[in-house]
């Protein structure tokens, strides 16, 4: 992690139009995520757009938060490059705050596509084909992470980005943990084996049963959350309070479809 100097104020918060360290021009600020702010910057030397994730200043006073944030970022960097995983380039400290510099994906998240109806354009057939395509691409990205010994632990539509060419990329692997790093058993190479990790993040409506219960989780947790995310893509909304209850929503959706009460996917 490299310490650098910027022109931001004492709060460490950047404003649109700022040029940080003489090379990062701030183009936009996204007030997203309970843990941090996301900026869109232009790297003036490279001529490319980057996403920069910064923890909220108030979180930096929590015991151990800074070390956890940096460790999570380095885990994400270690994932390497894959067409269906948003790449994390590096971590730098600016204004005393660690910043995660990652690939910028310009088409918004699957959550955005659900909310604004883009996912359901083209009628029932078009929507279903798009949902299946997005799901397959996300599965490829998760498989890459699992093959590297990483479990995401917070798979949800908001953590799935769509590039302008339709490429789907999982993101926010900062909540992932490597089995070796936690001292947990890793059975990546054994057929049917589970990558065990000891802790991580979750969003309750997408959480697996073991995750919601606070138990140790593994690769199957991501698969469960993936399935719940696909369910939301088809229904167009979350009607369950916690991931373990999503099967009831699935049963209702299937029943409505058989009865002809839901003639399309989501808003189709």
| Residues forming the active site | 154
Q: What is the CA radius of gyration of the chain?
A: 19
225-251: b (≥16 Cβ within 10 Å) or e: bbbbbbbbbbbbebebebbbebeebbe
Cα separation of 178 and 15, whole Å?
A: 35
Cα separation of 41 and 29, whole Å?
A: 9
96-106: b (≥16 Cβ within 10 Å) or e: ebbbbbbbbbe
Cα separation of 175 and 177, whole Å?
A: 7
CB 243 within 8 A of CB 261: no
């Amino acid at each position: 992690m490299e310490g650098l100097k910027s022109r931001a104020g004492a709060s460490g918060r950047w404003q649109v139009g700022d040029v940080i360290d003489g090379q990062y021009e701030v183009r936009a600020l996204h007030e997203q995520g309970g843990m941090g702010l996301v900026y869109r910057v232009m790297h003036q030397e490279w001529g490319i757009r980057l996403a920069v994730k910064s923890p909220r200043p108030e979180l930096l006073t929590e015991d151990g938060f800074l070390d956890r944030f940096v460790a999570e970022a380095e885990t994400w960097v270690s994932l390497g490059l894959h067409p269906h995983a948003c790449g994390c380039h590096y971590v730098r400290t600016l204004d005393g705050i660690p910043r995660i510099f990652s690939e910028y994906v310009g088409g918004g998240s699957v959550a955005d596509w659900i909310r604004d109806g883009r996912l359901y354009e083209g009628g029932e057939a078009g929507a279903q084909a798009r949902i299946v395509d997005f799901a397959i691409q996300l599965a490829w990205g998760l498989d890459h992470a699992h093959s590297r010994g990483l479990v995401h632990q917070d798979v949800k539509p908001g953590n799935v980005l769509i590039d302008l060419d339709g490429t789907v990329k999982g993101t926010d692997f900062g909540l992932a943990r490597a089995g070796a790093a936690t001292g947990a058993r890793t059975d990546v190479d054994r057929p049917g084996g589970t990558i065990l990790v000891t802790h991580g993040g979750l969003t309750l409506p997408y959480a697996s049963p073991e995750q919601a219960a606070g138990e140790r989780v593994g690769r199957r947790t991501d698969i469960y959350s993936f399935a719940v995310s696909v369910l939301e893509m088809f229904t167009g909304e979350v009607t369950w309070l916690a991931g373990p209850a999503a099967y009831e929503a699935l049963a209702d959706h299937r029943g409505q479809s058989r009865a002809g009460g839901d003639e399309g996917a989501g808003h189709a």
